[in-house]
Structure 1
């Protein structure tokens, strides 16, 4: 009787392992009728084709897609929307020193890490990427059109430290 239970337990465990995705399994982009989604390595649809553009071809932890309203969103491997991503150069902001800019519904800027964790919640009107351990930020100001580009103007810029880097004494 014990052998039968052990054998049954082994078969169930192996069967479940074959039918479930592992946490480190990658997802791959696919397109259907002009919309993008993601499939697992075994070919199962994990994130249905519902996005007009995919910025990430392989999701290891997080991916970036465009919504129909033009916003860029960060998705986890289950397809959950984590936050909106700051647009830069017609795509998602580039990570600098382990952080990239995110933006809330009010247009306020913060920072997230490359694992999808919000490190600095959105609270700044304008924020530049981190460089040499600092980011230039402000709580107030205006965006002024300068021909093809816009320039951020504020009389109260300050610098914040990158919380991912060790502090110097």
Structure 2
């Protein structure tokens, strides 16, 4: 029994000492409790000089600032793996856009519920050149933007239309309604379902 207690104390102390040593080095900062260290950026904020607004940017896991706070007015994505949704009126042309790690614009965000569209059934809606398409969780476009109206995917299918009209209901001007006489369904690679 004494041996188990002594071994537990040694492992606990040695493990804590190793964690502290690694934590205090700027080269290899990571939490030993997480056995999978991956390459991603994390959103962070600094208060503006006025103290009213927060300025957002992205850091790597070693605490190096990769995208300076304030470059974009808003950073929607907390964990920046392959793409992030950002907004800045001057840099993005008054649109929320997806950028890659080199800050190239990939596509415009399809805005739903005051932010970028949600991932549904493995895909989310995107916009390019005014048309709607779909991308996966890595930001890879899997169905080319070609639709005027498109619903989220559910159970492997989505309702889309090549021509439709968007109107605002009189009783709810914050939302739009999509009307079309030519809706059809597609699968997750863009094939029409009959």
> What TM-score range do you get, normalising by the shorter chain?
0.7 to 0.9
Using CA pairs under 8 Å that are at least 6 residues apart, name the structure with larger relative contact order, 1 or 2: 1
Where in structure 2 are there 5+ consecutive unaligned residues?
1-26, 29-36, 49-53
Choose which of 56, 81, 90 in structure 1 pairs with 2:114. 90
Where in structure 1 are there 5+ consecutive unaligned residues?
1-17, 165-169
Distance (Å, rounded) in 1 between the aligned partners of 2:59 and 2:111: 25
Aligned to 1:123: 146
> Number of paired residues?
143
SS at match of 1:51: coil
Distance (Å, rounded) in 1 between the aligned partners of 2:72 and 2:39: 21
Choose which of 52, 77, 99 in structure 1 pairs with 2:123. 99
TM-score normalised by the chain length of structure 1? 0.76
2:51 is equivalent to residue 31 of structure 1: no
Matches within 5 A, 1:17-166: 24-32=38-46, 33=48, 34-49=54-69, 50-68=71-89, 69-105=93-129, 107-146=130-169, 147-148=172-173, 149-163=175-189
Instruction: Quote how far apart the aligned CAs of 1:54 are.
Output: 1.2
CA contact 1:137–1:157 (8 Å) conserved in 2: yes
Pair member with larger Rg = 2
Superposed CA RMSD in Å reads: 2.1
Distance (Å, rounded) in 2 between the aligned partners of 1:31 and 1:151: 36
Instruction: Quote how far apart the aligned CAs of 1:141 are.
Output: 1.4
The structure that is strand-richer by fraction is 1
